[in-house]
């Protein structure tokens, strides 16, 4: 009972943080994803609040059926325009926190300059990272980004936080992983399903650390992830899952993204960022013994010019520092 009370207290405290948020300026917004990043303060310390319009829960047909009815779903409506059989309206939909919330909020507090740069509007560069650039620029950067910088990942793996959110776990320290919902997912809308598998082993920071010796392990992890997801979320089939990794990743401890193919994951699922896990395995299988792994290949990706890696590493390499 004490743990329940502690969790409830933490929840209340977290809600109060949102209410204490003081607006400063808009960092960035995206009309496609209907999201906005806002810089502000909480107790005079920088904070970043992200607000994103929630998706419709298409599987809840009883709720969707109420949308066109003024009494149940639409509190007010206005005609924008019409042409022949086509009509366009603006409407305010009735919302409910449990079944049809209007938005999902994310808070980073205290926020560092790195966070502010990441969530602000920025131009991107195409980086063609050769093995030499990896060894001289990225590898030292990765070392700085590990350790205390990803303590929150270690807290998840050791069940210090978010243990109640774990969907599935293989606890083996070498072969296992923890599967849990990504914070971008509302955990309700199945078309927007988004989970992350964080491996228990600590020797793989990114794709660059993968080599031919990892082929069997990667195949086993992918198979286990798919089985766990389809067993837990029976409305999702194997053919509806996208299993991929990011390069560059957002943090340097190997993890795998799992989404419904219907989910628009934005830049996170595009060329220059996402690589299907099955394609990674295929590339490893095709590598010669001389190449052996991704440390000795050239990889191309997109990098924001606000990032520390660009400013302190690649800007000078490409003559823009």
Question: pLDDT tens across 29-43, in order?
Answer: 887 778 899 999 999
Task: For residues 272 and 77, give the distance between their C-alpha atoms in angstroms, rounded to a whole number.
Answer: 41
Tell me which of 48, 79, 111 is where a domain ends.
111
Same-domain check for residues 43 and 93? no
Task: For residues 121 and 123, give the distance between their C-alpha atoms in angstroms, rounded to a whole number.
Answer: 7
Q: Judge whether 247 is annotated as a binding position.
A: yes
Q: Is residue 219 part of a domain?
A: yes
- CATH code for the domain of 248: 3.30.428.10
Residue that is written with structure tokens 């997912």 in the block: 185
Token pair for 88: 């366009």
- CATH code for the domain of 52: 3.30.200.40
Q: Do the Cβ atoms of 192 and 261 come closer than 8 Å?
A: no
Same-domain check for residues 93 and 154? no
Q: Judge whether 162 is annotated as a binding position.
A: yes
Q: Judge whether 159 is annotated as a binding position.
A: no
Q: How many CB atoms lie within 10 A of CB 205?
A: 19
Q: Judge whether 256 is annotated as a binding position.
A: yes
Indicate the DSSP class of residue 73. Answer: T
Q: Is residue 116 part of a domain?
A: no
Q: Is residue 35 part of a domain?
A: yes
Q: Judge whether 257 is annotated as a binding position.
A: yes
Q: Is residue 1 part of a domain?
A: yes
Task: For residues 280 and 207, give the distance between their C-alpha atoms in angstroms, rounded to a whole number.
Answer: 8
Sheet-wide strand order for 177-181 = 168-170, 177-181, 194-199, 255-260, 241-246, 274-276
pLDDT of amino acid 27 = 93
Same-domain check for residues 277 and 152? yes
205 by DSSP, 3-state: which? coil
Q: Which residues contact 160 (CB under 8 A, 6 or more apart)?
A: none
Q: Judge whether 253 is annotated as a binding position.
A: yes
Same-domain check for residues 187 and 212? yes
Q: Judge whether 152 is annotated as a binding position.
A: yes
pLDDT digits (tens, 9 = 90+) for 8-59: 334 445 788 888 999 999 999 887 778 899 999 999 999 999 998 887 776 6
Same-domain check for residues 67 and 54? no
Q: Which residues contact 93 (CB under 8 A, 6 or more apart)?
A: 67, 73, 74, 75, 100, 102
Regions of the chain short of the pLDDT cut 70:
1-13, 58-60, 63, 66-75, 321
Task: For residues 89 and 2, give the distance between their C-alpha atoms in angstroms, rounded to a whole number.
Answer: 50
Write down the number of H helices and E strands in the chain.
Answer: 10, 14
Q: Judge whether 241 is annotated as a binding position.
A: no
Same-domain check for residues 146 and 92? no
Q: Judge whether 248 is annotated as a binding position.
A: yes
Same-domain check for residues 22 and 92? no
How far is residue 144 from each of residues 131, 140, 141, 148, measured CA to CA in Å?
A: 19, 7, 5, 9
pLDDT of amino acid 113 = 87
Q: How many CB atoms lie within 10 A of CB 68?
A: 11
Q: Is residue 31 part of a domain?
A: yes
Q: Judge whether 143 is annotated as a binding position.
A: no
Same-domain check for residues 54 and 66? no
Burial class (CB in 10 A: 0-12, 13-18, 19+), 112: exposed
Q: How many CB atoms lie within 10 A of CB 253?
A: 21
Count structural domains, the chain.
Answer: 3
Burial class (CB in 10 A: 0-12, 13-18, 19+), 43: exposed
Q: Is residue 143 part of a domain?
A: yes
Same-domain check for residues 87 and 135? no
Same-domain check for residues 154 and 213? yes
Q: Is residue 117 part of a domain?
A: no
Task: For residues 214 and 174, give the distance between their C-alpha atoms in angstroms, rounded to a whole number.
Answer: 11
pLDDT digits (tens, 9 = 90+) for 274-297: 999 999 999 999 999 988 999 999
Residue that is written with structure tokens 């990504």 in the block: 182
pLDDT of amino acid 226 = 98
Q: Is residue 43 part of a domain?
A: yes
Same-domain check for residues 156 and 196? yes
- Which residue of the set 115, 200, 255, 263 is catalytic? 255
Reply yes or no on whether 255 is catalytic: yes
Same-domain check for residues 171 and 89? no
Structural domain span for residue 93: 61-98
Task: For residues 2 and 5, give the distance between their C-alpha atoms in angstroms, rounded to a whole number.
Answer: 5
Indicate the DSSP class of residue 320. Answer: -
């Amino acid at each position: 009972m004490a743990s329940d009370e502690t969790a409830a207290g933490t929840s209340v405290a977290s809600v109060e943080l949102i209410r204490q948020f003081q607006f400063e300026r808009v960092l960035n917004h995206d009309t496609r994803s209907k999201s906005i990043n806002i810089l502000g303060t909480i107790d005079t310390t920088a904070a970043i609040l992200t607000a994103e319009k929630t998706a419709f829960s298409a599987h809840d047909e009883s709720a969707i059926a109420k949308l066109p009815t003024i009494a149940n779903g639409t509190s007010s409506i206005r005609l924008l325009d019409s042409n022949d059989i086509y009509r366009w309206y603006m409407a305010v939909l009735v919302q409910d926190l449990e079944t049809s919330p209007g938005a999902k909020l994310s808070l980073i507090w205290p926020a560092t300059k790195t966070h502010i740069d990441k969530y602000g509007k920025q131009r991107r560069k195409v980086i063609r990272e050769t093995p030499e650039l990896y060894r001289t620029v990225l590898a030292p950067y990765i070392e700085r980004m590990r350790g205390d910088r990803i303590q929150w990942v270690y807290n998840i793996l050791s069940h210090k936080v978010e243990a109640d959110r774990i969907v599935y776990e293989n606890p083996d320290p070498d072969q296992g992983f923890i599967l849990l919902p990504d914070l971008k997912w509302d955990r309700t809308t199945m078309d927007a399903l988004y989970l992350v598998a964080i491996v228990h082993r600590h020797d793989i920071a990114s794709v660059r650390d993968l080599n031919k010796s990892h082929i069997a392990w990667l195949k086993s992890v992918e198979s286990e992830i798919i089985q766990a997801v389809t067993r837990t979320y029976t409305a999702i089939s194997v053919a509806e899952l996208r299993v991929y990794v990011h390069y560059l990743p957002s943090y340097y401890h190997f993890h795998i993204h799992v989404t419904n193919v219907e989910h628009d994951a934005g830049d996170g699922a595009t060329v220059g960022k996402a690589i299907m896990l099955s394609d990674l395995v295929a590339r490893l299988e095709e590598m010669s013994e001389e190449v052996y792994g991704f440390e000795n290949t050239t990889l191309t990706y997109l990098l924001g010019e606000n990032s520390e890696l660009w400013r302190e590493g690649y800007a000078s390499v490409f003559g823009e520092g």
